[in-house]
Amino acid sequence: MDSEEFRKRGREMVDYIADYMTSIRSRRVTPEVEPGYLRSLLPGHAPRKGEDWDEIMKDVERAIMPGVTHWQHPNFHAYFPAGNSFPSILGDMLSDAIGCIGFSWAASPACAELETLVLDWVGKMIGLPKQFLHQTGEGGGVIQGSASESVLVALLSARHKAIKQLKQKQPYVEDGQLLSKMVGYCSKLAHSCVEKAGMIGYVKMRQLDVDENYSLRGHVLEDAIEEDRKLGLIPFFVCATLGTTGCCSFDHLSELGEVCRRQGLYLHVDAAYAGNALVCPEFQYLKKGVENVNSFSFNTNKWLQVNFDCSLMWVKNVDDLTTALTVDPLYLQHKHGDKAIDLRHWGIPLSRRFRALKLWFVLRTYGVEGLQKIIREHCRLAKCFERKVLGDERFEVLGDVTMGLVCFRLVGPNTLTQKLLKVINDSGKLHMVPSMLNERYVIRFALCTEHACDDDITFAWDVVTSAATELLQGRQR
């Protein structure tokens, strides 16, 4: 493809994307295909000679789109939102065109500098203390590939720090021996990525009980730490969640922070979804105690109109990260190494895309107020949906509706709600996923698309109640 054809095909692609977004309602939200469907529609080997672009695009509609789950569909209420917007798409286009691999400042100065600048912007927007900012503190922010990666990086940093401190006291003890005793903590409602980080980091990860608000409390953590110390284990890491995946509950950050400070543990905050809402001052009370946190992350690619991937992570002290993650071969060194920032030392991969561009485009086109408006509207709509659920005595709501998520169920055994969800998802009219809260099965209704509106709530509730009526009548017959 030469640049002239690229201009033509690029314009066509922009039209295709704009049409896809504006007519998405006409598609079924979930596909009706079986595993392996694509092999019957496409050849099993790559073409020997290049093909015509029109033929390729025909296959997009014929073979690909029938197997797509439309996350941007107004009737998609599963998981959490998958951030998306035209400015973000354009940002990624430009990033792809520049095609730099910004592992060090020298590898592409604008890539490194824009990343640190926008991380400071967002840090200020969500009210992080100045220690977490590049401009004013000993820490700063970085873009990671996912919230899971941020948790893993935090755990690896904490592990390195703890082993280093222990070795000062016991220099002859093998690292492996220390590792076998190390234990981290999170709540039972923490995302599975915390368990996975423990697996990868080869440390035990204890999942602690939550209170009646599905929140991990300081005394529960402190009891667990003391119990483990008595067993000869080495507590070193805590991952607190602000906005759990199961029900968007909030661990008690100020209590956990105090315990970690007293006990000398590293504290990471996973605020993958809810962290976005901190751009609204009325939600900033949820981060009370953040000054005792070592690192904090959230995914702008969930709720800040930025496309995947763009998980932001801030550390209070950059040495926590860089001492754990720095390797420095000659071919990556450069003459500004002493005074410029090399973000390859802040994460796992060497190669890094120019992800700050899409975030910068979004922040500039929406402005803080534009982003606040979307978050507030989702929270308002979640409350509307909650009122509808509470108004129907066949249903109950579990957990507080603080943000854009409502967890509800049919009163009665779990199997009833399980069947209800299956009927709804099979209909292809709505898409939702379940979670389990203290042994009770709930359906999660998440507000996801940018332009979600009252009519979508009415439609969703109609689908839910019709399915429930049919299910309950069938049970009586």
Q: How many CA atoms lie within 13 A of 155 on its CB side?
A: 30
Which of 241/417 has CB closer to ligand PLP?
A: 241
- CB under 8 Å to 337, separation ≥6 — which residues? 104
299 contributes a contact to ligand PLP by CB under 6 A? yes
Instruction: Name residues contacting ligand PLP, limited to 335-364 (CB under 6 A).
Output: none
Contact set for ligand PLP, span 174-193 (CB under 6 A): 191, 193
Residue 15 is encoded by which pair of tokens? 């039209």
Q: Hey, is 297 helix, strand or coil?
A: strand
DSSP string, 187-233: ETTS-HHHHHHHHHHT-EEEEEP--TTS---HHHHHHHHHHHHHTT-
Among residues 80, 303, 346, 385, the one that binds ligand PLP under rule CB under 6 A: 80
Q: How many CB atoms lie within 10 A of CB 271?
A: 28
Q: Are 243 and 403 in contact (CB under 8 A)?
A: yes
Q: Is 273 in the site for ligand PLP (CB under 6 A)?
A: yes
Count the residues of the shown chain that bind ligand PLP, applying the rule CB under 6 A. Answer: 16
Pairing of strands 140-144, 311-315: antiparallel
Q: Which is nearer to ligand PLP, 268 or 429 (CB)?
A: 268
- Residue 182 burial class via C-beta count within 10 angstroms: exposed 0-12, middle 13-18, buried 19 and up: buried
One character per residue 211-250, x = contact with ligand PLP (rule: CB under 6 A): ------------------------------x-xxx-----
At residue 195's C-alpha, the angle toward residues 189 and 199, to 5°, is 175
Identify which range of 67-75, 143-151, 160-168, 415-423 contacts ligand PLP by CB under 6 A.
143-151
By C-beta, is 90 or 433 nearer to ligand PLP? 433
Closer by beta carbon to ligand PLP, 92 or else 270? 270
In whole angstroms, the minimum distance from the beta carbon of 299 to ligand PLP comes to: 5
* Residue 191 or 353 having the CB closest to ligand PLP: 191
Which one among 75, 148, 276, 372 touches ligand PLP, defined by CB under 6 A? 148
Contacting residues for 298 by C-beta, under 8 A, at least 6 apart: 126, 147, 271, 272, 273, 274, 275, 276, 278, 311, 312
Are 108 and 345 in contact, with CB atoms under 8 Å apart?
Answer: no
Residue 270 makes contact with ligand PLP by CB under 6 A: yes
Q: Which stretch binds ligand PLP (CB under 6 A): 88-96, 265-273, 280-288, 314-322?
A: 265-273
Q: Which residues bind ligand PLP (CB under 6 A)?
A: 79-80, 146-148, 191, 193, 241, 243-245, 270, 272-273, 299, 311
